[in-house]
Amino acid sequence: MSDQKTHCGYVALVGAPNAGKSTLLNQLVGTKVSIVSPKVQTTRARVLGICLEGNAQVVFVDTPGIFSPKRRLDRAMVAAAWSGASDADIVVLLVDAKRGFDPDTRAIVEQFQKHNTKAVLAINKVDLVKKEKLLELTTVLNETGVVSETFMISALNGSGVSDLMEAVTKAMPEGPWLFPEDQLSDMPERMLAAEITREKLYLQLRQELPYRATVETESWEEKKDGSVRIGQMIFVERDSQKSIILGKNGSQIKALGAASRIELEEIFERRVHLFLFVKVRDKWGDDPERFKAMGLEFDA
């Protein structure tokens, strides 16, 4: 290395719901720090993923998909997204190649135009789309005047990701590293553990599950043998939702707990004893405490 000075900065990942922001973040960091699901709006709060590239520490901010907010929870997520983008040194706009220049992406591009800012364009999911369509999409997006550079990537299989990484690394300003060198995320382990269980909820109960279910880690007990006992509460809004999550003779919650535990053991590299509970809490979407637990502003 010729340049011995350290560099450090923030890169905001913005894009329509489902564009692949969380998948890209996990791919960049090399481990799961943000949960992913085929359902839109899985990421609720702001999630950081931290990468070291030579002498640069690159801090990626995964934002909730930006969309037009109606309910309080949506507004809080949008506020978290824009605050992530405006604090960043560089913004990466992720566009789903299959969905193309859709209304969500248009709305985001208009915000960039309004604020006179530029973004690095990453056209994602190139594994799903023909070359001609990619070129067309690149042209259309570059005509908006907000694109500084374009990359074709597949966040899922990693193709093109190292070129993107190289480009954003170059944009990192000189400065001290903001995080310890082995830190990959700023999400507390308890919250990550809750997020993992929420991901399994989405994956196992796709249709039936209300997107408004939430999970909180209520207890975290270190055992002498190196294992950890984790207790989590799943909050739903109605009795009928509780029955769905429990399943016949508790079969559903058992499967949920098993899937979550396997992944928690992988991530934390230790044995995990996971205990899941379900509680009906009417209108948790209006409860400031639940927002705080997710790291969101209630009054956004």
One of 1, 2, 38, 299 touching ligand GDP (CB under 6 A): 38
Q: Quick check: 22 binds Mg ion (CB under 5 A)?
A: yes
| 207 CB neighbour count, 10 Å cutoff | 5
Task: Supply the minimum distance, in Å, between the C-beta of residue 21 and Mg ion.
Answer: 5
Q: How far is CA 257 from the centre of its chain?
A: 22
Instruction: Choose between 22 and 252: whose C-beta lies nearer to Mg ion.
Output: 22
Residue 155 interface partner, choices Mg ion, ligand GDP, none, CB cut-off 5-8 Å depending on type: ligand GDP
Main-chain dihedrals φ then ψ at residue 137, nearest 5 degrees: -65, -40
Place of tokens 């999409």: 137
- Asked if 94 and 15 count as a contact pair (C-beta separation under 8 A), the reply is yes
DSSP state of 172: P
Stretch that binds ligand GDP, among 17-25, 139-147, 170-178, 201-209 (CB under 6 A): 17-25
Instruction: Choose between 21 and 125: whose C-beta lies nearer to Mg ion.
Output: 21
| Bridge pairing between strands 47-53 and 56-62 | antiparallel
Residue 23 interface partner, choices Mg ion, ligand GDP, none, CB cut-off 5-8 Å depending on type: ligand GDP
Which parts of the chain fold into alpha helices (H)?
21-29, 72-86, 103-115, 131-142, 161-170, 189-204, 239-246, 251-268, 288-293
Residues 187-226 that bind ligand GDP (CB under 6 A): none
Stretch that binds ligand GDP, among 3-11, 20-28, 113-121, 192-200 (CB under 6 A): 20-28
Q: Quick check: 156 binds ligand GDP (CB under 6 A)?
A: yes
Residue 156 interface partner, choices Mg ion, ligand GDP, none, CB cut-off 5-8 Å depending on type: ligand GDP
One of 11, 19, 61, 187 touching ligand GDP (CB under 6 A): 19
Instruction: Choose between 20 and 84: whose C-beta lies nearer to ligand GDP.
Output: 20
Residue 125 interface partner, choices ligand GDP, Mg ion, none, CB cut-off 5-8 Å depending on type: ligand GDP
The answer for residues whose C-beta is within 8 angstroms of residue 65's C-beta and 6 or more apart is: 15, 16, 17, 18, 19, 21, 40, 41, 43, 77, 81, 104
Instruction: Choose between 202 and 268: whose C-beta lies nearer to Mg ion.
Output: 202
Instruction: Choose between 198 and 290: whose C-beta lies nearer to Mg ion.
Output: 198
Secondary structure (3-state) at 217: strand
Task: Supply the minimum distance, in Å, between the C-beta of residue 250 and ligand GDP.
Answer: 28
One of 10, 11, 23, 274 touching ligand GDP (CB under 6 A): 23
Shortest Cβ contact with ligand GDP: which residue?
A: 20
Contacts 24+ apart (CB under 8 A), 217-224: 217/190, 217/191, 217/193, 218/277, 220/189, 220/190, 220/193, 223/273
Q: Quick check: 43 binds Mg ion (CB under 5 A)?
A: yes
Helix, strand, coil abundance in the chain, percent, nearest 5: 40, 25, 40
Distance from the first to the final alpha carbon of the chain: 45
Compute the half-sphere exposure of residue 109: CA atoms within 13 Å on the CB side of its CA: 19
Residue 154 interface partner, choices ligand GDP, Mg ion, none, CB cut-off 5-8 Å depending on type: ligand GDP
Please give the residue ranges that form the binding site for ligand GDP (CB under 6 A).
15, 17-23, 36-38, 42-43, 65, 124-125, 127-128, 154-156
Contacting positions for Mg ion (CB under 5 A): 21-22, 43
